[in-house]
Amino acid sequence: MNALPTPSPEAAILGLRAMRMIVAADGSPTPGGRRLLEAAQRVFLGVRVDIDTLAPITPEELARTFPAELRESIVRGMVVATLVSGKPTPNASERVRDFACALGVEQPAVQTVELFARGHMLLGALDYHRRSNLRGMLADEIDARGLTGAISSFLGLRGLREDPMIAAPYLSLEKLPAGTLGRALFDHYRHNGFSFPGERGGFPEAGVYHDVTHVLAGYGTDPLGELQIGAFTAGFRKKDPLFVAMLPLLLFCADINVTPIPHERPLELFAQGDNAEKYLRAVQRGMRVRVDLSDGWSFWPFASRPLADVRAELGIA
């Protein structure tokens, strides 16, 4: 569990002042950035202030009194804030770097965002992928199947190969009773038109945990659902959690596609309704999960059990 300490009101205000420096780096606060700061007050901070009344703050001023246990979290929040209203800008990314340096936080995503902000899209994508969960999925597939098997799995993703032996256990999930985790996973794949591992167009088995997490958390596969699943996963993930959250942010908010699949960017998703609060609630919910579902956890021992029971055992509200 990636527990987030509750800040004092004084620390909360300091953090909000710094976050406003990021979302207003180019003038007025971005629409998505404003909603993000307002939602953070309700979900994590327990304070209520008008964003427009927050005084500017320098990195050095923040570093003098900001609690050590909150420094990594606020830098992660700053990175997220650069991505919620379109492509990150040089001004915003520079401010994030200045705050991170003053706070003594070494967060690799700061460099990734800076590359994108400066228009180095290929370098940014390469920098993202070398730390992302997508790289971890490839490594897990190689560990499980060897290099040849991993190549075969990814050819299947491209629709060039199929392996009925790999697909068979997944197809058998249809026989499980309604209400079980396994049957819910089967229905999730078929309802969304997804292919199972081993079928043509199917994702490698190392990535199945993502869809299992969708089923366990109950989030959809639309852009908002993918944002929530990224936030939820970041909440329980131990290694590089921010990079998991970044993928849907890049695709659906920053209009930066780091995948070979085309995506459409919804206009100002964070500025709509209570989406920003839903996003942060997903992070909070993920923090309460008792295991890292992305780190070698297998759903197979749980497949025939009632979905509600599995959620309760894992700590998924």
pLDDT at residue 124 is higher than 70:
yes
CA distance 231 to 292: 13
Q: What would the mean pLDDT of 130-137 be, rounded to a whole number? A: 69
CA distance 48 to 12: 10
Per-residue pLDDT, 153: 45
Q: What are 62-76's pLDDT values in tens digits?
A: 999 999 999 999 999
CA distance 81 to 90: 13
Per-residue pLDDT, 144: 59
- With left for phi above 0 and alpha for psi between -120 and 50, is residue 57 left, alpha or beta? beta
Per-residue pLDDT, 116: 98
| Choice between 44 and 151, residue whose per-residue pLDDT is larger | 44
- Percent of the chain at pLDDT exceeding 90: 81
Q: DSSP secondary structure string, 132-159?
A: SHHHHHHHHHHHHHHHHHHHHHHHHHTT
For the chain, give every domain's residue range.
9-129, 143-314
Q: What would the mean pLDDT of 73-98 be, rounded to a whole number? A: 98
Provide the H-helix boundaries in 52-163: 59-65, 71-83, 90-103, 108-117, 121-129, 133-157
As a residue count, the chain comes to 317
For residue 13, what pLDDT band results from cuts at 50, 70 and 90? very high
Per-residue pLDDT, 197: 92
Per-residue pLDDT, 150: 43
Answer yes or no: pTM beyond 0.75. Answer: yes
CA distance 302 to 24: 47
Q: Which residues contact 76 (CB under 8 A, 6 or more apart)?
A: 107, 109, 242
Residue 206 structure tokens: 């190392």
